[in-house]
Amino acid sequence: MVILPELVLLTGALAFFVVSLGKTPDRNVVKFTALFFGLATFIAACLSFQSQATLFYGVYAVDQYSQMFKVLIGFSLAILLVAGQYLKGIEVSVRAEYYLFLLLSVLGLMMLVSSVELIAIFVSLELSSFALYLLVPMRDDRTGIRMQMEAGMKYILFGVMATGIMLYGMSYLFGLTGTTYLKDIMTFLSKGNLQPAVVVAVLMTLGGFFYKLAVFPMHFWVPDIYQGASNETTGFIATIPKLGAVALLIRFLIVPTGHPQFLVELLAVVAVCSMFYGNLSALVQKDIKRMLGFSGIAHAGFITLGLLTMNGEGYGLAIYYIAGYVLMNLACFLVISNVSQAGENLLIEDLSGLYQRQPVLAFILAVGLFGLAGIPPFVGFMGKFMILASALRADHLLVVCLAAINTAIAIYYYLSVVKAVYTADPGGRPSVLVHPAIQAVGVIVVFAIVLMGALPAKFVDFAGAVVQTLL
């Protein structure tokens, strides 16, 4: 029972394998199977929330930390599957396969948050990544969109390269320490063995993790893949894998005695570069997914800022921030995938007058964007505020000031979308019909965004306490 959510996902993937064997699977069967397994995963994750176990010779830890992330992943998956249930961008005949790989990818992420050993990390990371590489080019090309092929190629090539770098770093770590267990590696590092080989090994391994989170030097895949993948796929790429990446990074960075200075400085530089690069590039984007991609790079920088303090509080805040970020992105992608008529990409101007065409979606999008911009009382503000506070406490004044300036830059491009939604003339664009269930899910997400922003104490305390158990 301790790995119930993983088992549910695996069953789901197998079920879709069976469904995909038929010639043309019925679209409703596929849809409802997906919805069923999405909800089932969430429920299973909730049920196994209290489980504790160490499996497979200690490489697989089911602890409070992993279970918390599994609940978050399950929740996001359920929201995502309901919001994107029409899968407009995917041809009907491959939808069963699409869900097969989607669930496998989520399975990989669920395994990732439980992995505490390099090989296990590698296996689950690759399970998640390779399934994801396949989702990108599955986009329907009947509408004349061919860029998903290019995006898929780029994604797999860059991804494999990043994996290679990470593996190379891991091999060094193994060579230096003689173990693949994270715990022993961290003990070795905390003793202050800082020969150049250690630095190189840590940097390379981190590089692989940064690739998943899309932090600055490993960010370059983001814009093209976000734009090339179908709206639903991008919604997935932008949310759930980031949860896994943060979980992994924290596991990797947690050292009881604190970290060598070089790592702190590295993270600071990476954070600032991510924020500036992401925000400045997002300013000029016209495609909304591309813009959200760049904004994601900037937010990844903010999360790195939370990790920078290298203490339980900072890690807890990073978890809070990423959970909030996922919620806000889900709100945005819920709107994007439902406003898009036939799964085409949306330019920002395509959202013109959404307020008149579909007021509920306009409201959800506005809350999501204002939240991402960090305006109170939404979760984005609280996360930003607390991360800045903890970073300033750790004496990173310059970084904090630069981050604050970035907030001001970011508001412009978020606001330009809100401007289109609320002030621009629809200009003959048709009104948008949305299923009430999707609207309800959107309102739930909005509610969660406000609630987490207004009453963050419980969540942050819990996340902080959970991280403390890892120390």
Residue 346: CB atoms within 10 A of its CB come to: 18
- Contact with other proteins (CB under 8 A): which of 275, 332, 334, 386? 386
The whole-angstrom separation of Cα 292 and Cα 278 is 9
Nearest approach in angstroms of CB 276 to other proteins is: 15
Applying CB under 8 A, which of residues 283, 284, 405, 440 lies at the interface with other proteins?
Answer: 405
**Between 244 and 278, CB nearer to other proteins:** 278
C-beta of 133 vs 459, nearer to other proteins: 459
- Cβ atoms of 134 and 229 within 8 Å: the answer is no
CB of 424 to other proteins, least distance (A): 8
Question: Taking CB under 8 A as the rule, does residue 426 contact other proteins?
Answer: no
From candidates 160, 415, 434, 451, binder to other proteins by CB under 8 A: 415
Distance of CA 292 to the CA centre of its chain: 12
What are the contacts of 436-440 at 24+ separation with CB within 8 A?
437/82, 438/82, 438/83, 438/85, 438/334, 438/338, 439/360, 439/361
Nearer to other proteins, 165 or 369 (CB): 369
Q: Verify binding: residue 432, other proteins, rule CB under 8 A.
A: no
Nearer Cβ to other proteins (194/404): 404
Asked if residue 51 lies in contact with residue 2, where contact means CB atoms within 8 angstroms, the answer is yes
Residue 401 as a binder of other proteins (CB under 8 A): the answer is yes
Q: From 16-24, 210-218, 253-261, 453-461, give the range in contact with other proteins by CB under 8 A.
A: 453-461
- Cis check for the bond before 217: say yes or no (omega within 30 of 0): no
Report whether 274 contacts 217 (CB < 8 A).
no
Amino acid of residue 157:
L
Judged by CB under 8 A, the residue of 310, 392, 432, 451 near other proteins is 392
Q: Does 32 bind other proteins (CB under 8 A)?
A: no
Q: Kindly state the tokens that stand for 238.
A: 């932008």
Tell me the β-bridge partners of 115: 60
Number of residues that bind other proteins (CB under 8 A): 32
278 is a contact residue toward other proteins (CB under 8 A) = no
Phi, psi of 55 (to 5 degrees): -120, 165
Distance of CA 242 to the CA centre of its chain: 3
Nearer to other proteins, 32 or 412 (CB): 412
- Is the Cβ of residue 157 or residue 454 nearer to other proteins in the bound state? 454
Q: Interacting stretch for other proteins, rule CB under 8 A, among 35-43, 77-85, 149-157, 376-384?
A: 376-384
Amino acid at 17: F
Q: Is 464 in the site for other proteins (CB under 8 A)?
A: yes
- The burial of 28, by beta-carbon neighbours within 10 Å (0-12 exposed, 13-18 middle, 19 or more buried), is given as exposed
Q: Which of 166, 266, 460, 467 binds other proteins (CB under 8 A)?
A: 460
Looking at the Cβ atoms of 286 and 393, the one nearer to other proteins is: 393
- Residue 95 or 429: the one with the smaller Cβ distance to other proteins is 429
Work out whether 283 is an interface residue with other proteins (CB under 8 A): no
Residue 397, number of CB atoms within 10 A of its CB: 10
Q: Is 364 in the site for other proteins (CB under 8 A)?
A: no
**Interface region with other proteins, contact rule CB under 8 A, candidates 206-214, 245-253, 281-289, 458-466:** 458-466
Q: Quickly list DSSP for 367-405.
A: HHHHHHHT-TTSHHHHHHHHHHHHHHHTT-HHHHHHHHH
Bridge partners for 13 per DSSP? none
Q: Does 200 bind other proteins (CB under 8 A)?
A: no
Task: Tell me: does residue 423 bind other proteins (CB under 8 A).
Answer: yes
Burial of 188 (0-12, 13-18, 19+ CB in 10 A): middle
Decide: is 1 part of the binding site for other proteins (CB under 8 A). Answer: no
d(CA 46, CA 394): 35
Among 131, 388, 446, 470, binds other proteins (CB under 8 A): 388
In the list 10, 264, 287, 377, the residue contacting other proteins (rule: CB under 8 A) is: 377
Whether the CB-CB separation of 305 and 391 falls below 8 Å is answered with: yes
Angle between helical axes of 95-114 and 4-21 (0-180°, round to 10): 160
Q: Establish if 398 lies at the interface with other proteins (CB under 8 A).
A: no
List residues binding other proteins (CB under 8 A): 355, 370, 375-377, 381, 385-386, 388-389, 392-393, 397, 400-401, 404-405, 407-408, 411-412, 415-416, 418-419, 422-423, 456-457, 460-461, 464
